[in-house]
């Protein structure tokens, strides 16, 4: 198994593995909402409708956090991720050849 693994993925650069690991952690974090619903209903005793509202509020509440985190990351240079030029995203029309 070790030989197969080194032949399959051993030649990939370290940067790839950093990005792969960060993406894995990011995707695993999306499961939190699913388990939050189970926890709210089974352990906390909330109704499924109320748990759905709580989980549904996660999306709109995450936007200001992303904007504030992104603006500090830019260091004042360039457009922050939530500037009027970049938010709301423009709808793109697909043109088929």
Higher-confidence residue of 84 and 5: namely 5
The mean pLDDT of 78-94, rounded to a whole number, is 58
pTM, to two decimals: 0.47
Backbone angles phi, psi at 20, to 5 degrees: -60, -45
Domain ranges of the chain: 29-67
Q: Pick the closest to residue 40 from 27, 29, 55 (CA basis).
A: 55
Q: Which tens digits make up the pLDDT trace of 24-55? A: 888 887 788 788 889 999 999 999 999 988 88
Looking at every residue in the chain, the average pLDDT score rounds to 75
Helix residue spans in 10-79 (DSSP H) = 14-29, 31-42, 48-56, 58-74
48-69: per-residue pLDDT in tens? 999 988 888 877 777 676 666 6
């Amino acid at each position: 198994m070790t030989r197969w693994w080194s032949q399959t993925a051993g030649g990939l650069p370290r940067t790839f593995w950093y990005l792969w690991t960060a993406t894995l952690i990011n995707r695993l974090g999306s499961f939190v909402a699913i388990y939050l619903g189970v926890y709210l209903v089974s352990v906390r005793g909330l109704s499924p409708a109320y748990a759905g509202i709580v989980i549904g509020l996660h999306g709109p509440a995450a936007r200001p956090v992303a904007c504030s985190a992104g603006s500090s990351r830019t260091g004042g240079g360039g457009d922050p991720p939530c500037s009027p030029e970049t938010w709301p995203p423009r709808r793109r029309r697909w043109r088929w050849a």
